[in-house]
């Protein structure tokens, strides 16, 4: 069996997220697995992603791997997949990897980007990829709040998953906040992110930027006993994009 690693881009607008679901084939993982099953003539070919992205979230650097018993060159496998993928999903690179490589288990870090359209002027052509927020944001206040997030902390207050028994401790290496014309871009890099974590972090930083939250108070959300109801709103999925997975 040969182990293939692929880099995938997708516009998540019309999909029910990355993970396959029994009730719909309208997921990124489901689309890829269906095409590989067709290519090989097998009933099922498992594709493992570096992690799940929610419904409506985009990616330019999602990573996945799958194993095939085939003599096809890697480039031919990639060409076949792209031939049958819809136009809003594409494989941009393929590599043959050692047998033990796993896109999720071997991942060392990820980078996400959240885009905010910070003006009352409509964002006609980019509306599927940005959160439109007309109120003026204080970026200095947001940066002060963001500085509290850097480091290794318990991010339990920043996830919607209340039932998971897994650790909610994560390390954030950097949170960069930049304005590019009418757009505010927040870039998060860390060793991993919890369910809805980036979107809740962004909602919390926005509250600081709108003067609705003391930036320094973000520290209390990382303390033992902090709960989801104390952190910010869950911002829309469409502004979020998985940029890179590091190994």
Residues 6+ apart with CB under 8 A from 65: 3, 4, 5, 6, 47, 48, 97, 101, 102, 103
- Crossing angle of helices 139-149 and 197-209, in 10° steps, is 140
**Number of other CB atoms surrounding residue 232 within 10 Å:** 22
| Catalytic residue set | 54
Distance CA 102, CA 213 (A): 41
Find where tokens 């869950």 sit. Answer: 234
* Residue ranges of E strands in 54-195: 58-68, 89-97, 109-117, 131-132, 151-154, 169-180, 183-190
CA atoms within 13 A on the CB side of 201: 34
Let me know if 37 is exposed, middle or buried by CB neighbors in 10 A (0-12, 13-18, 19+): middle
Place of tokens 């204080």: 138
Closest residue by Cα to residue 176 from 156, 197, 201: 201
Alpha helices by DSSP H, the chain:
28-40, 74-84, 139-149, 197-209
């Amino acid at each position: 069996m040969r182990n293939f690693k692929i880099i995938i881009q997708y516009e998540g607008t019309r999909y029910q997220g990355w993970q396959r679901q029994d009730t719909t084939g309208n997921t990124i993982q489901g689309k890829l697995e269906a095409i590989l099953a067709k290519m090989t003539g097998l009933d099922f070919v498992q594709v493992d992603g570096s992690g799940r992205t929610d419904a409506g979230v985009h990616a330019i650097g999602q990573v996945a791997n799958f194993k095939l018993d085939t003599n096809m060159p890697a480039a031919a496998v990639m060409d076949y997949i792209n031939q049958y993928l819809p136009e809003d999903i594409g494989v941009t690179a393929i590599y043959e990897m050692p047998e033990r490589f796993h896109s999720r288990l071997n991942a060392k870090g990820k980078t996400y980007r959240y885009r905010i359209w910070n003006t009352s002027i409509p964002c006609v052509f980019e509306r599927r990829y940005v959160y439109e927020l007309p109120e003026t944001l204080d970026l200095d206040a947001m940066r002060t709040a963001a500085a509290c997030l850097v480091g290794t902390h318990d991010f339990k207050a920043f996830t919607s998953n209340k039932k998971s028994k897994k650790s909610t401790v994560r390390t954030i290496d950097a949170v960069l906040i930049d304005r590019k014309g009418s757009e505010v871009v927040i870039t998060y890099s860390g060793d991993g992110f919890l369910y809805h974590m980036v979107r809740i972090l962004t909602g919390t930083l926005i509250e600081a930027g709108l003067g609705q939250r003391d930036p320094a108070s973000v520290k209390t959300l990382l303390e033992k006993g902090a709960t989801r109801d104390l952190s910010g709103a869950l911002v829309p999925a469409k502004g979020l994009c998985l940029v890179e997975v590091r190994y």
